[in-house]
Amino acid sequence: MEKKRIVTGDRPTGKLHIGHYFGSLKNRVKLQEDDKYEQYILIADVQALTDNFNNPEKVRKNVRELVLDYLSVGINPEKTTIYIQSLIPETAELTVFYSNLVTIARLERNPTVKTEIAQKRDLFGESVTYGFLGYPVSQAADITAMDGTIVPVGEDQLPLIEQCREIVRKFNSIYGDVLKEPEAVLSDARRIKGLDGNEKMGKSLGNAIYLSDSVEEVNKKVMSAVTDPGRIRKDDKGNPDICMVSYYHNLFSKDEYKNICEECRNGQRGCVACKKQLAQNINKTLEPFREKRKYYEQHPEIIDEILIKGTEKARITAKETMKKVKKAMKLDYFEK
């Protein structure tokens, strides 16, 4: 049976945090073990430049950081192909071809792009760049270049995959049945809130626990987490439903969770001890990640080798796709 190809990826713009772990990484580690799938992870450096064009050093530095995060959580390069977007020139070529198949108005209506442009007013002012507005087109090129049929996404990413499907349908209707229409698969993982209770966890919000955080950093961050504000004394009855410590216990202390909530409600648990227990459990989860990261940090040549090998493999697929695309578009001059 032919394996379904999964294409997924991240922009190399910063360290990954536990929200990323529960949101996508854990799922990727699971999927690479499933014989039905072949997984490709794209390090989207070109896409990262669409809103970091003035900071190329940041993007470059984070390429290797991203691989360190992947390897530390258990992404296995023998089972998952990790590759760099800018080293696949076919995706840039495809982006140019696809740009004829989508209108400016359609891109401006894309809800994901619309929200992101609004969030980036500081960078773009009143007028967004051509590159940023068109990043869904380049994303369609990334997916189709790899013959991707499955794209795991969060709900907020669905409009991007719909845009890709539209481009594929348009291409196939004009040039013939060449491209595969990818399917978005909604990950069952929910978005993880920040330590301050914010719906989003992120660097700019200062409310994230990173996969690479030290024991001390985790301890300090957990101590700052928002708890039930109504609790003053240790024996006050608390409400774990409005406490971020309880929220994280539900992720990291599954077996003890019921008991923790009961003790909190009955005023039998102090917040400081409760936080210490949580920090301990988060550190227990992160410890094997830290060990693996340390090993790869000491062997940067292995990271390079993984990226070179992964990119070579991805390039072969991209070249095959490009051959079919150019033939269909009558651009296969001098091809025998």
Residues numbered 254-283 forming contacts with ligand SF4, rule: CB under 6 A: 264, 269, 271, 274-275
**Which secondary structure element, helix H or strand E, spans residue 7, and what is its range?**
strand 4-10
- What are the start-end ranges of the H helices in 120-255? 121-124, 130-133, 135-145, 158-175, 215-223, 244-252
Interface with ligand SF4 (CB under 6 A), residue from 50, 72, 144, 227: 227
Minimum CB distance to ligand SF4, residue 205 (Å): 20
- What is the Cα–Cα distance from 255 to 252, expressed in whole angstroms? 9
Buried b (16+ CB within 10 A) or exposed e, 261-275: bebbeeeebbbeebb
Which range of residues in 27-35, 159-167, 239-247, 307-315 is near ligand SF4 by CB under 6 A? Answer: 239-247
By CB under 6 A, tell whether 47 contacts ligand SF4. Answer: no
Sheet of 183-186: strands edge to edge? 80-84, 37-43, 4-10, 150-153, 183-186
Burial (0-12, 13-18, 19+ Cβ within 10 Å), 188? exposed
| Residue reference for tokens 């993982």 | 189
- Which CB, 11 or 249, lies closer to ligand SF4? 249
- Which CB, 148 or 240, lies closer to ligand SF4? 240
Nearest of 188, 10, 169 to residue 82 by alpha carbon = 10
By CB under 6 A, tell whether 152 contacts ligand SF4. Answer: no
Which range of residues in 59-67, 85-93, 153-161, 226-234 is near ligand SF4 by CB under 6 A? Answer: 226-234
Minimum CB distance to ligand SF4, residue 283 (Å): 17
Residues in contact with ligand SF4, counted by CB under 6 A, come to a total of 13
The alpha carbon of 285 is separated from its chain's Cα centroid by a whole number of angstroms, namely 20
By CB under 6 A, tell whether 253 contacts ligand SF4. Answer: no
Interface with ligand SF4 (CB under 6 A), residue from 5, 17, 165, 231: 231
Minimum CB distance to ligand SF4, residue 79 (Å): 39
3-state SS class at 215: helix
- Which CB, 212 or 227, lies closer to ligand SF4? 227
Is there a contact between 185 and 7 (Cβ–Cβ < 8 Å)?
no
- β-partners of residue 42 are 9, 83
Is there a contact between 249 and 260 (Cβ–Cβ < 8 Å)?
yes
| Residue reference for tokens 């430049």 | 49
Interface with ligand SF4 (CB under 6 A), residue from 62, 246, 283, 321: 246
By CB under 6 A, tell whether 243 contacts ligand SF4. Answer: yes
- Which CB, 68 or 243, lies closer to ligand SF4? 243
- Which CB, 119 or 259, lies closer to ligand SF4? 259
By CB under 6 A, tell whether 19 contacts ligand SF4. Answer: no
- Which CB, 7 or 18, lies closer to ligand SF4? 18
- Which CB, 107 or 279, lies closer to ligand SF4? 279
Q: What is the SS3 assignment for 265-309?
A: HCCCCCHHHHHHHHHHHHHHHHHHHHHHHHHHHCCHHHHHHHHHH
| Residue reference for tokens 């999964």 | 6
- Which CB, 265 or 309, lies closer to ligand SF4? 265
Interface with ligand SF4 (CB under 6 A), residue from 42, 164, 228, 321: 228
- Which CB, 167 or 260, lies closer to ligand SF4? 260
Minimum CB distance to ligand SF4, residue 254 (Å): 15
By CB under 6 A, tell whether 221 contacts ligand SF4. Answer: no
**Which secondary structure element, helix H or strand E, spans residue 151, and what is its range?**
strand 150-153
| Residue reference for tokens 């984070």 | 62
The residues that touch ligand SF4, with contacts defined as CB under 6 A, are 227-228, 231, 238, 240, 243, 245-246, 264, 269, 271, 274-275
